[in-house]
Amino acid sequence: MIRGRKDRGLFLPMALLISLTTLFPIGWALVISFFRYSAYDTTPVFVGLENFSRVFRDRGLVLSLNLTVLWSGLKTLFEIGISFLVAVRLRHSSRATRLSMFILGIGWFFPAFITVSAWRGLIQGSAGRSFVSSILGMSVDITTQPVAAFISTLFVAVWLSIPLSTIIIIAMLQSVSSDLEDNMKLDGINDLNAVAIFFSQVRTVLIPFAFFQFARSLKEFSVPFLMSGNGPLVPGGFTPETIVGSTTFMGVLLFRKFSIAENYGLLAAYSAIVGVLVFGWLLAAMFSRLQPPKRHTRLLVLSSLVHLALGLFSGRVFGSILFFCLYLLPLSFLGRRLSFRYSVGFVLLADSIYVVLMVITGGLAALPAASFLAIPALLLSMRYRISIPNLSVKPVLKRALMVLVLAPTVVLMIYIALLAMSPVNDVIPRLQGLRLENFKTVLVKDSLLLNMLNSFWIALLAIIIVAVCVFPFAYSHAFKQRKITSIVLSIALFGTSFAGMHTLLPVHMVFQRIGLVNSFLGVALLVATQCIPLSVISLIAFFKSIPAEFRELFLLEGSSEINYFLRVALPLSLPMIGGIATYVFVSAWGTFTTPLLFIDRIDMMPFSLKIYSYVGEIGSYYSRWNLFAAASLLGIIPLLLFYKRSLRFTYSGALKERGVVYE
């Protein structure tokens, strides 16, 4: 193998980016959590475990954790279930399939800060008088009804997740051979059994994907925050440390703590505890990819430890110790397959009964959150066989499923369009006298173009950062998988999966001290970091697809590795550069949480915060719904210009682990 010269520095920009946005902030949070430190303190004061003691005494955090786990579990169940059924139906390309995917894609392509706020208008309306209320024939008020707020937020989150999950599962299904499908038709396999067979073919990648989606749901912030804020107060939600509503999930709780933070050390302790909880679910996702018996062993140990930790944290000492021992019990039968499977089944049954009894006797506050990791992890790990009847679903029901999935997108788009032309500022558009005056108002009076320009600068900086950091690193790792590049890649992939409000708050503390708060560069650095996984994996696959003879000939002539990268590899990757630039641009244009935390100057307000300013949180008295809709439609034009290319990039073989295919 020909080794290039002077190429060891290609990974350094990526390493510096990850250090600045991931490693150093997490390390800072862990250190400062042992100190009392506020904006008024000149030096931190060491307090030991006092901050963690206050966190452990916060009963509101326990209730928020239970709500978050329940909501995340339901979201993942509905998201993966519906997406899988839709993907099975749309797995073959046709005119109807392409139309369905286009409609699905519109809902996904619109930024969440637009669609979630629009759903709030449709569901909540004005004091419970809304489009949804008129259809259901009953008042739906998510400001006073805890269950309505919880279900509404769950519905919107599932709706937002279905398009991308469907696309990814379609890519997974491309690995199913056409011969298998032909044999299924010859054998008379009907719909339910066909779905089971398709699941068995992709479960090795689908199950880890489901756990990663669960972990992502635990960190959800934008949907509950924009939809219902904290949500109406739930029983037991008024605690000395925290007030918990039905949608005060962990991300929202941390943001509220940040908004009133006087002690950065205490805030860091909250972030650290939430980070550990998210880390547990990410471990379950990674362990689910292993082969048995290693998979079974690690998941059993993880389940026992999570039961012990969360049980003690919640004050359930007996239950935590009991299930810590029960989940370790099957390990004694590891060499006997049948006994092992029966013992795991017994433990799962006992845990399920425990969940039901705890909820019946103690309500939501007594919900054992650890069971939502242990039960699905072990159940899917053991892969018990279930007899499925060979039944067919009537074609009308199949079409009804697609209508139910696609109709909300169509309704929402029509609602936004009518609202944008409504002559009155009301959450329910007036159909008489529709006009275009609102578009003129947001452009001329509200200077929307300035906010769009701010978003453009953030996007441009993010693209430059990705180009400088990710492209050289991907090239270096594609040809020479050194230990250092593998470590950097692992940290980058894990860091982006782990990232959430619990990591953004430490980043804010660090950026505030180095002058990156109220800075386009600070936001762009974080956007670029979140774009690393898809970008680097796609580029590594692409660089490996370049014929090796090109590189060998170039290096034989005495040129350096960096020279080959700049003069050959980079020009050949121009189509990929266009796709990744589009992906980064869309991500930067649609970012909401990061600028919400890092930008508070009006003149630097990006498009996302401008849209948010029109409607604010639920209960805002100065909402301007018609201007919100008009500005949303104008601001979406740059995304629509890139829509076709971005969809092509999403459908690229990078999602199928077969390398990048481009025209």
Of 236 and 450, the structure prediction assigns the larger pLDDT to 450
Read off the tokens for 39.
């904006």
pLDDT band at 7 (very low <50, low <70, confident <90, very high): low
Taking residues 342-346, report their average pLDDT: 90
Q: Is the pLDDT of residue 118 over 80?
A: yes
The string of pLDDT tens digits covering residues 50-90 is 888 888 888 888 899 999 999 999 999 999 989 888 888 88
- What does the domain layout of the chain look like in residue ranges? 8-48+443-656
39, with CB counted inside 10 A (0-12, 13-18, 19+), is exposed
CA distance 113 to 456: 17
pLDDT at 471 over 80: yes
Contact 82, 162 (CB under 8 A): yes
Question: For residue 256, what are the contacts with CB-CB under 8 A and spacing of at least 6?
Answer: 230, 242, 248
Residue 379, Cβ density class (10 Å: 0-12 exposed, 13-18 middle, ≥19 buried): middle
pLDDT in tens, 585-636: 888 998 999 999 999 999 999 999 999 999 888 767 778 899 999 999 998 8
Q: 526 falls in which pLDDT band (50, 70, 90)?
A: very high
Task: Quote the CA–CA distance of 41 and 45 in Å, as a whole number.
Answer: 9
Q: Are 327 and 361 in contact (CB under 8 A)?
A: no
pTM, two decimals, is 0.85
Question: What is the rounded distance in angstroms from the CA atom of residue 663 to the CA atom of residue 660?
Answer: 10
Q: What is the pLDDT of residues 151-203, one digit of tens each?
A: 999 999 999 888 888 888 887 887 777 777 777 777 666 666 777 778 877 88
CA angle 16, 476, 498 (to 5 degrees): 45
pLDDT of residue 383: 66
Q: Which CA distances in Å does 228 have to 152, 364, 508, 520, 621?
A: 9, 19, 25, 29, 15
Does residue 245 carry a pLDDT above 60? yes
Instruction: State the average pLDDT over residues 485-496.
Output: 78
With 90 as the cut, is the pLDDT of residue 239 above it? no
Position 503 scores a pLDDT of 84
Q: Residue 231 — φ and ψ, nearest 5°?
A: 80, 165
H or E segment at 235?
strand 233-238
Least confident stretch, 188-192, 449-453, 652-656: 652-656
Residue 219 in tokens: 């960190």
Residue 451 near residue 610 (C-beta atoms within 8 A): yes
For the cut 50, the answer to whether the pLDDT of residue 659 exceeds it is no
Instruction: Looking at mean pLDDT, say which of 100-104, 228-232, 658-662 comes out highest.
Output: 228-232
At residue 502's C-alpha, the angle toward residues 501 and 507, to 5°, is 85
pLDDT digit string (tens) for 271-293? Answer: 888 888 888 888 888 888 788 88
Stretch 311-318: mean pLDDT, rounded? 83
Q: What is the mean pLDDT of residues 545-569?
A: 70
Phi, psi of 235 (to 5 degrees): -55, 130
Radius of gyration over alpha carbons of the chain, in Å?
Answer: 26
CATH of 8-48+443-656, picked from 1.10.730.10, 1.10.3720.10, 1.10.510.10, 2.60.120.10, is: 1.10.3720.10
Alpha helices in 421-547, H assignment, sequence order? 437-440, 448-479, 483-498, 501-513, 520-530, 532-545
130 vs 439: which has the higher pLDDT: 439
Q: Which residue has the higher pLDDT, 405 or 2?
A: 405
The average pLDDT across 436-442 equals 92
* pLDDT category of residue 434 using cuts at 50, 70 and 90: confident
pLDDT score, position 199: 81
Give me the chain's average pLDDT, please. 82
Better-predicted residue by pLDDT, 130 or 326: 326
Yes or no: say if 83 and 165 are a contact pair by the CB < 8 Å rule. yes
Stretch among 126-130, 137-141, 632-636 having the lowest mean pLDDT: 126-130
